[in-house]
Amino acid sequence: MTYAVEMLNITKDFPGIRANDNVTVKVEKGTIHALLGENGAGKSTLMSILFGLYQPTSGTIRINEKEVNITDPNVATALGIGMVHQHFKLIECFTVTENIILGMEPTKHGMVDTKSAAAKIKELSELYGLNVEPNSLISDISVGMQQRVEILKMLYRNADILIFDEPTAVLTPQEIEDLMEIMKRLVKEGKSILLITHKLKEIKAVADKCSVLRRGKYIGTVDVKDTDEEKMAEMMVGREVSFTVDKKDAKPGDVVLQIRNLNVKNSKGVLGVKDFSLDVRAGEVVGLAGIDGNGQSELVFALTGMSPIESGQILLDGEDITHKSIKERCNLGMGHIPEDRHKHGLILDFPLKENFIIHEYNEAPFCKNMILQEKEIDKNAEVLIEEFDVRSGEGKDSLTRSMSGGNQQKAIVAREIHRSPKLLIVVQPTRGLDVGAIEYIHKRIIEERDKGKAILMVSLELDEVLDVSDRIAVIFDGCLNGVMDAKATNENELGLLMSGSLRKDGAACEQ
């Protein structure tokens, strides 16, 4: 048996935390090896060591059965190791092509030859069904498309050992299926893949072996074909996990959110949301389902005050908030868990405790006579950290940037749910979370619903939409294309509505 990667007795210490504690993982050549663990279990840290972003405190790495010292990502690249990061390493003002070739730019007559690079990228994009436009600006493309750029970046560099860190977190179900096929094809070509994911269904679909970490320690490695999802989940969190959302029937009350004939332009200056109308009532969860890029982001930006509208009206508890500021909407009882936690959810260079009070920093008890009340801020942070199991090296004083993606997400969810606003707009609420955390977040969303709060949930996870929602609205090409009772529909019908193959009440979508 030959190994592409051997990480032997790896330990990594950060201030206040041991991220990896004597971990050994061996990856056979030409296989897909999954790495599973809770948020903060040390998976991304371990892979960052393999890619040269961190140096281990102790331990040995062997690549193709030779001991190596991976001092930085350039060394890793030279060894044939590529990595798709959970948080994208892209420069927003550069094009897709410029991001992909950065650091290994082809030249012609002493000039950077972006034309030939773009042609190669287009060829790779078509070969793997990624549908990326090489000349698009990163700032103009969706989060899902940015993920595909990261994948292309690795393929462009001809890596033999491929690390995927939560690669499907922002992809649609169809895109996930396509990516799984790409992975299988890459392995057939002799490449070896390390896959970090919380999605047990994906591990069952593509992985050969699965190694489990818990709180930085190695728990074990299993053959995926011989191990069910429940067993892997139990290894990951140390207890049995429920895969279904326990909830009673909704008891909808008065309309809290009214969206009336809304039209919103996208970044290209054309209508991304077209004549969209929807009501969300107190005591219900309305799920918004759609293929990424069909107007969800534009709709959420308009509702939360992050972008202007062309026409239409937004009412919160009967009050017109169409032209009110983000802060005014928050004060009137709107909460928002955003799609992009880094750009819109957190101030990364603030400590965790300050991110918890981002909406209320100027209000009692956190502020008195224009002075921040540190004791109250600390007390609030300790409550939320405990309640939502937010893990970080230095607790409430941790720089938010230093936390794992899943724990950053838990921090945002904790802040918004703890405020208990009358309307909660949640976008991809469990993106990058492990099954234990997903179970808890879903439970808290349902608790808010049962307190009489109105919840609009936007998710690309059809399982999540079907499990958590009471009603499901489908958006296609910026238009409402049907509203169904969640108990009376299924993935197949939703998929047809999301693709526009089936039309319900979305007359405005007709071309």
Inform me whether the pLDDT recorded for 377 exceeds 60: yes
Return mean pLDDT, the chain. Answer: 89
pLDDT of 91-107, one tens digit each?
999 999 999 998 888 88
Residue bearing the bigger pLDDT, 87 or 495: 495
Kind and range of the H or E element at 33? strand 32-37
- Average the pLDDT over 57-76 and give the result: 94
Q: Residue 456 — very low, low, confident or very high, per pLDDT cuts 50/70/90?
A: very high
pLDDT of 101-147, one tens digit each?
988 888 888 888 889 999 999 998 888 777 889 999 998 887 778 88
What pLDDT does 508 receive?
42
Which amino acid belongs to residue 3? Y
Its pTM surpasses 0.75: no
Alpha-carbon distances of 240 from 87, 233, 245, rounded to whole Å: 30, 7, 14
| Pick among 3.40.228.10, 3.10.20.310, 3.40.50.300, 3.50.50.60: CATH of 3-237 | 3.40.50.300
Of 77-91, 425-439, 479-493, the range with the highest mean pLDDT is: 479-493
What pLDDT does 240 receive?
75
Inform me whether the pLDDT recorded for 70 exceeds 50: yes
Tell me which DSSP letter residue 345 carries. I
Distance between CA 115 and CA 391 in Å, rounded? 46
- Average the pLDDT over 360-375 and give the result: 92
Inform me whether the pLDDT recorded for 505 exceeds 60: no
Instruction: Tell me the β-bridge partners of 275.
Output: none
Instruction: Tell me the β-bridge partners of 473.
Output: 288, 483
Of 329, 349, 337, 359, the C-alpha closest to 414 is 337
Exposed / middle / buried, residue 249 (Cβ in 10 Å: 0-12, 13-18, 19+): exposed
The CATH architecture of the domain made up of 253-333+423-511 is 3-Layer(aba) Sandwich (3.40)
- Asked whether 121 and 155 are in contact (CB, 8 A), the reply is no
- Average the pLDDT over 440-461 and give the result: 93
Hey, where are the domains in the chain? 3-237, 253-333+423-511, 340-420
80: left (phi over 0), alpha (psi -120 to 50) or beta: left
Residue bearing the bigger pLDDT, 507 or 438: 438
Distance between CA 96 and CA 17 in Å, rounded? 37
Burial 79-106 (b: 16+ CB within 10 A, else e): bbbbbbbbbbebeeeebbbbbbbeeeee
Inform me whether the pLDDT recorded for 416 exceeds 90: yes
Inform me whether the pLDDT recorded for 40 exceeds 90: no
- Average the pLDDT over 12-38 and give the result: 92
Q: Do domains 3-237 and 253-333+423-511 have the same CATH topology?
A: yes
Q: Residue 172 — very low, low, confident or very high, per pLDDT cuts 50/70/90?
A: low
Inform me whether the pLDDT recorded for 190 exceeds 80: yes
Inform me whether the pLDDT recorded for 506 exceeds 70: no
The rounded percent of the chain whose pLDDT value lies above 70 is 96
- Average the pLDDT over 301-305 and give the result: 96
What pLDDT does 16 receive?
76
- Average the pLDDT over 43-62 and give the result: 94
Residue bearing the bigger pLDDT, 116 or 38: 116
What pLDDT does 181 receive?
86
- Average the pLDDT over 245-256 and give the result: 91
- Average the pLDDT over 248-273 and give the result: 93
Inform me whether the pLDDT recorded for 243 exceeds 80: no
Cβ neighbours of residue 139 under 8 Å, at least 6 residues apart?
A: 92, 93, 267
Sole residue written with tokens 């279990």: 41
HSE-CB at 69 with a 13 A cutoff on CA atoms is 3
Cβ neighbours of residue 385 under 8 Å, at least 6 residues apart?
A: 352, 395, 396, 414
pLDDT of 86-95, one tens digit each?
777 899 999 9
- Average the pLDDT over 151-156 and give the result: 86
The lowest-confidence range among 23-37, 279-293, 423-437 is: 423-437
